[in-house]
Structure 1
Amino acid sequence: MVDPEGGPAYLYPEDAELDEAPAGRPPLKRIAIVSGSVAAAALLVSGIIYGPTVARVLSQSGTTVDSPNKVGAFTLDTSDGAKDTAEYIRDAVTTEISLDSSVGLIYRDQQVSAILVAGTARIWNPGRTLESAFDVVSDDAGGVRDVHDVAAGPLGGTVRCGVTKVDNTDLAVCGWADNGSLGVALFSGRTATEAAKPFLDLRTAVEHRP
């Protein structure tokens, strides 16, 4: 079809519909181009913000937790009473926080004990997950106070220690959370500052990455 002025006419009727929009409305092609640009920009920003987190989650998805018999001066308590206590606390933590696999352990260093719960999962927000774990172990004791960050060392993630009260006794609480695992421990006979190093030793011995 040729237009009266001799120029090429639209080859398809829909071409005219796309280019010729009613007065006051932008052409559909322009809308499509702008929408595509906005979507691409949003995708780029999301990749910049969330890409590193996704990469860490995937790289740590093969994390495992172990139950070594000895960690430094600590020895694993395998008595029935210790197992029952550790399992009770483990069940409380896993009821609140979904873990793929988990262990409940009690280690003793002479008269000092450490009750440790550790497990694996894909954790997108380690800080928030660790807060939830602290809430569980503190129960109705008024929460964990004097919480402070601790240098995490080679394994990275978030590590914090604080103090909670159990049966009118202050116990040090330390926990770690990264994108592949979580661990929280209660220490008797130690301040939060004193508990930090043995807790990091326990984490290094218990947490393993592929």
Structure 2
Amino acid sequence: MSQPPSSPYPGSYPPPPQQPGGYQPPQQPGGYPQAPQQPGGYPGAGQPGFGAPTEPPKKKSNVGKILLIVLAVVVVLCVGGGVALYFAGKDAVNEVVDASKTRVVEPETLGGRAKSTDASLVSVVEEAKTEMKTTVPGATSIVGGVYGDPAKQDMLMVVGASALQVDPKKELDTGLSQLGGSLGVTEFRTIDAGPLGGDAKCGDGKSSGVDMGICAWSDRGSFGMFILYFKSSADLEKQFATLRAEVEKKD
């Protein structure tokens, strides 16, 4: 007895209808035509009515980028530090003890400027502070914040930490040499560090067309820097001692 011919369409009987022009859609296991793949790896991705629309990632502000660059320098400043246990002499020991009482605080206003509440800036600041807590060895306190109003071209950023340092001047020079290339500073000049002592330097930078005055300090118990946007370092230098006194405290 003759047998019916075997199906030329495995897994599917009766055979699917013919497409115009003789084209047969590719078969999936089970015999169902395969839906066309869309960008994104699943049917309908990126098409109207399918899935969530794709939006480009939000870019961080220039302030945020600069804050993270400065953060990297602060970490460099602290990595070379540490408690100077090998100092000899009573005066050196007293100096270390005094330095251990140093701390930095984050005021609600800085130089008369209110702390920024911009969500994107606050997010970057918190990210930077979290990073400092985990990567800066020996830090007893940290500070990071943006103050003022960019619409009025009056904005100030501060970042710093308290930690014992063996050679504050060397750490300051090392950190600023790295910062200079990132923010376009050609030269840092030595300035009066003020009543709190230590070493301090200022320089002029520029990023994304925005002028910046930069001043940094480093002493036995702390280090940090200010960046004044839309202004020169000469403008910042006039305020430096006052600003530092608002941030650096002695217990």
TM-score when normalising by structure 2: 0.56
Query: 2:96: which partner in 1?
Result: 57
Q: Cα gap change, 1:164/1:57 in structure 2, threshold over 3 Å: closer, same or farther?
A: farther
Are positions 1:102 and 2:142 aligned together? Answer: yes
Q: Cα gap change, 1:193/1:135 in structure 2, threshold over 3 Å: closer, same or farther?
A: same
Q: Is the 8 A contact 1:83 1:104 kept in 2?
A: no
- Pairwise mapping of residues 114-125 of structure 1 onto structure 2 (< 5 A)? 114-125=156-167
Larger radius of gyration: 2
Q: Cα gap change, 1:54/1:102 in structure 2, threshold over 3 Å: closer, same or farther?
A: same
What amino acid sits opposite 1:150 in the alignment?
I
Q: Cα gap change, 1:95/1:161 in structure 2, threshold over 3 Å: closer, same or farther?
A: farther
- Pairwise mapping of residues 28-43 of structure 1 onto structure 2 (< 5 A)? none
CA drift at 1:135: 4.3
CA drift at 1:81: 2.0
Q: How far apart, in 1, do the equivalents of 2:186 and 2:238 lie? A: 19
Quick one: percent identity of the two aligned structures? 27
Are positions 1:175 and 2:216 aligned together? Answer: yes
Q: Cα gap change, 1:141/1:150 in structure 2, threshold over 3 Å: closer, same or farther?
A: closer
CA drift at 1:128: 1.8
| Farther off after superposition, 71-80 or 115-124 | 71-80
SS in 2 for 1:104: strand
CA drift at 1:52: 4.1
| Farther off after superposition, 78-87 or 177-186 | 78-87
Q: Is the 8 A contact 1:96 1:136 kept in 2?
A: no
1:165-186 CA deviation, whole Å, 9 max, x = no partner?
Answer: 3224332111111111111122
Q: How far apart, in 2, do the equivalents of 1:76 and 1:157 lie? A: 27
Q: Cα gap change, 1:208/1:116 in structure 2, threshold over 3 Å: closer, same or farther?
A: same
Query: 1:203: which partner in 2?
Result: 244
Q: Is the 8 A contact 1:64 1:120 kept in 2?
A: yes
Q: How far apart, in 2, do the equivalents of 1:89 and 1:135 lie? A: 21
Q: How far apart, in 1, do the equivalents of 2:94 and 2:181 lie? A: 34
1:68 aligned residue (107, 119, 125): 107
CA drift at 1:117: 0.3
Structure with bigger helix share is 1
Structure with bigger strand share is 1
CA drift at 1:83: 1.6
Query: 2:32: which partner in 1?
Result: none
CA drift at 1:68: 1.1
1:129 aligned residue (148, 167, 171): 171
Q: Is the 8 A contact 2:168 2:199 kept in 1?
A: yes
Q: Is the 8 A contact 1:162 1:174 kept in 2?
A: yes
Q: Cα gap change, 1:197/1:70 in structure 2, threshold over 3 Å: closer, same or farther?
A: same
- Give aligned pairs, total: 162
Give the aligned CA root-mean-square deviation in angstroms: 2.7
Q: How far apart, in 2, do the equivalents of 1:68 and 1:148 lie? A: 27
SS in 2 for 1:57: helix
CA drift at 1:197: 2.4
What amino acid sits opposite 2:141 in the alignment?
S
Q: How far apart, in 2, do the equivalents of 1:52 and 1:145 lie? A: 37
CA drift at 1:111: 2.5
CA drift at 1:61: 0.3
CA drift at 1:86: 3.0
Q: Which runs of 5+ in 1 are unaligned?
A: 1-45
